[in-house]
Amino acid sequence: ASSTFKDPYRLQHKIRISDAKGLLILPVTGEINKIFGSPDGYGGSERGITLAAAPESVVTAPSDGWVLFAGPYRSYGRVLIINAGNGYTFVLTGLQHTSVEIGQFVLAGEPVGAMGASPADGKTAENETQRLPLYLELRKDNQPIDPSPWWAKNLSEKAGG
């Protein structure tokens, strides 16, 4: 999947986002601990997914696109918005740092920021490394949609035969 997007000199989308279903890589290594549409605990439903990432993890662009916003926003911390084209945008929150500028074209898989450091010793009561939340929303014409069809399957998830 990643070879589809390799060419560091591109300044436009390699493929249309609508044709990239099953090809995109999650922007950070970690487990999905909240899925699109699940109860949000406040009487509504999740409008995106939340990944549990290791402290100081590098965050990458989920798709090719232009940076629409990169910076602090209200109580969301650092927010990154990427225009993936054809009315699609990715919204990422929970980053500690962003390394891109508004108007910049980024490639799928390109580093765009990082998660924060873990508090105190970084261990939970069970002596596991603490995970930090990275929230990701995919929007079509400014309406949240389920991003799960866009993610490439892990090798461990593929059916054997």
The amino acid sitting at 120 is A
Query: Is the overall model pTM greater than 0.85, yes or no?
Result: no
- Among 1, 49, 4, 7, smallest CA distance to 28 is for 49
- Among 87, 70, 90, smallest CA distance to 78 is for 70
- C-alpha 64/C-alpha 146 separation (Å) is 18
**95: helix, coil or strand?**
strand
The list of the chain residues with pLDDT below 50 reads 1-5, 127, 155-161
pLDDT of residue 104: 93
pLDDT of residue 96: 94
pLDDT of residue 75: 81
> In this structure, what token pair is assigned to residue 93?
């929150």
pLDDT of residue 161: 40
pLDDT of residue 40: 85
- C-alpha 15/C-alpha 20 separation (Å) is 7
pLDDT of residue 70: 96
pLDDT of residue 154: 66
Phi, psi values for residue 137, rounded to 5°: -125, 135
